[in-house]
Amino acid sequence: MIPPRYYSTCFLLFLLLLSTSLSQSHRAAKKKRMREKVRNMFHHAYDNYMTHAFPHDELKPLTKTFTDSLVELGNLKLERLPQDYNGSALSLIESLSSLVIMGNNTEFEKGVRWLSENLTFDVDARINLFECNIRVLGGLVSAHLLASDSSKNLLKGSYKNQLLGLAEDLGKRFLPAFNTPTGLPYAWINLKYGVMENETTETSTSGCGSLILEMGALSIMTGDPIYESVALRALRKLWSMQSSLKLFGTTLDVSTGKWIEHSAGIGAGVDSFYEYLLKAHILFGKEDYWRMFHSAYVAVQKHFRHGPWYHEADMRTGRATYWQLTSLQAFWPGLQVLIGDISAANSSHREFFHVWKQFGVLPERYLLDHQMLHPTEKYYPLRPEFAESTFYLYQATKDPWYIEVGELIVNSLNLYARVEGGFASIKDVTTMQLEDHQHSFFLAETCKYLYLLFDDSFMLENNYVFTTEGHPLPVLSTWHEELPEAYIPTNWTNLKRPNRASAMSLQVCPAMTLDSGQHIESACHIPDVRRDYKCLTDEDCGVDAITCRRRSCSMAGYCGLWLFL
């Protein structure tokens, strides 16, 4: 029997439990509703592409026609394509993993069959190496891994590695681009004839430093080391070009190995370079990638960070050059989540959120020093980076606020960008004037990350690294042969375990701060062994200050709340 004096306490406890249960039920219902809303968005965009633009590259949703945006023909860009050119089915390739994640296995199988029977790269097409690598090669490699995974049972008939054959053919056509005095690849190459006469020698840091995931994976799957070799040679050459401050410029010359643009940052022209250093370490397990990323990350935090923002600076002096927010920078919080720097990630993400809320979407460029839009770059081409970071932060914290952010993004896209023929880019965020272009990355990334935010069941059985174009590559122990055994956390393989949550579902929450600015720290806190939070084993990690849970060592070598069994 409960003494009468405790009745009120028990009643309040009952109400609290009831409220918590109802709140959890409400959140689950909202996530399910939002998941279906995103699925509808994806199929509206995908179905219109297949109806009005396939097999060409991308859809023009306002006029319900197509554009072959990936290619340039011959040595110069022509006004029109030859009559026998039918496109590369770019948006189909980009959609394959999204179809799997959203459970449309039938359409995935149809796409695989069509590509196997019809796609060819023996065309007189001048393509951008970086874009073709992350979109086409990455899409094919990822889809091959999904198609050949017998546990997923995606294909009814036999699969004979046709997508891998296409990927290898494309990889071979990339190789002439690396025949330079420095090993840094040309930015442009003709798929049929190689490097054209008088081809430009200018390229970006991302263009020659963001090839290792796709080409490294291709080498592992084909057994031919050449693809990883040329990509790694280019990466190491680029690394040797860092300034004394360990910073990298934006553009360079592949023949001379000299920098052209010395202004450095984390946005356009360099963003995926940082991303691939960390993700290559996670995917391939080589310590060199981690050492490079850690050095580069510390330099970025030291020279670019200004509160929650990241400005650009001269790579030689560290002096600020441009105080501006660019939409591509919104990937950075997601990258910070992967190394456990949750507080910094949350801080920057909330600033991007405020800009999104101010304009309804995220403008391409916002001048921080003038608190105004860039006068000419006022567009929003349905970019995924803000949704991507929102997904990662929700995975890390389970803070329902990020679900609210995702709902805001979905509602904005439907309100401003959805048209009868698909989803149109926004030409001017001040007027919401539309542009007749549905980029393939809307299918490959934007819809995918929003869907995963509300339903991460795809990641229950495997850990994945997502490429810069959102193509999932499984983290497999067989790809980590050179990683010391003591450095491998227990949760990084694809072993099936009961009741397993998603790959990052219980990491550390953002730090709590009082209105006065005073930081709250609990009495249970035990610091990590190293001040930089780096670790080799779980013994290097302490007890989290917020949750009082034991921290563990992540696959990236940082302490955090990574265990989720």
- Catalytic residue annotation: 131, 271, 364, 385
Give yes or no for a contact between 336 and 345, defined as CB atoms under 8 angstroms apart: yes
Identify each DSSP E strand in 81-190 by its residue range: 125-128, 188-190
Distance CA 46, CA 261 (A): 38
DSSP lists the bridge partners of residue 552 as 560
- Residue 101's Cα: distance from chain center in Å? 15
Dihedral over Cα of 412, 94, 224, 173: its sign = negative
**548 Rama class: left (phi>0) / alpha (psi -120 to 50) / beta:** left
Name the residue among 160, 273, 159 with its Cα closest to residue 210. 273
Distance CA 16, CA 438 (A): 47
Distance CA 211, CA 171 (A): 11
Helices (H) and strands (E) in the chain, counts: 17, 24
Give yes or no for a contact between 424 and 438, defined as CB atoms under 8 angstroms apart: yes
Distance CA 169, CA 91 (A): 19
Kind plus residue range of the DSSP H or E element containing 554: none
Give yes or no for a contact between 204 and 270, defined as CB atoms under 8 angstroms apart: yes
Identify each DSSP E strand in 158-315 by its residue range: 188-190, 202-204, 251-253, 259-261, 263-264, 305-306, 309-310, 312-314
**What is the signed CA dihedral for 454, 477, 471, 252, rounded to 10 degrees?**
130
How would you class 502 by CB atoms within 10 Å of its CB: exposed for 0-12, middle for 13-18, buried for 19 or more? middle
How would you class 419 by CB atoms within 10 Å of its CB: exposed for 0-12, middle for 13-18, buried for 19 or more? middle
Cα–Cα distance list, 450 to 327, 355, 477 (Å)? 17, 19, 28
Give yes or no for a contact between 360 and 432, defined as CB atoms under 8 angstroms apart: yes
Dig out the tokens for 91 from the structure. Answer: 């948006």
**What is the C-alpha R_g of the chain?**
24
Q: Is 537 annotated as a binding residue?
A: no
Query: CB-based contacts of 200: which residues, under 8 Å, 6+ apart?
Result: 186, 187, 188
- CA angle 470/476/479 to nearest 5° reads 105
Give yes or no for a contact between 406 and 394, defined as CB atoms under 8 angstroms apart: yes
DSSP lists the bridge partners of residue 422 as 419
Cα–Cα distance list, 388 to 279, 334, 420, 481 (Å)? 15, 7, 26, 30
Give yes or no for a contact between 184 and 254, defined as CB atoms under 8 angstroms apart: yes
DSSP structural state of residue 542: -
Give yes or no for a contact between 521 and 480, defined as CB atoms under 8 angstroms apart: no
Binding site residue list for Ca(2+): 468
Binding-site residues from annotation: 468
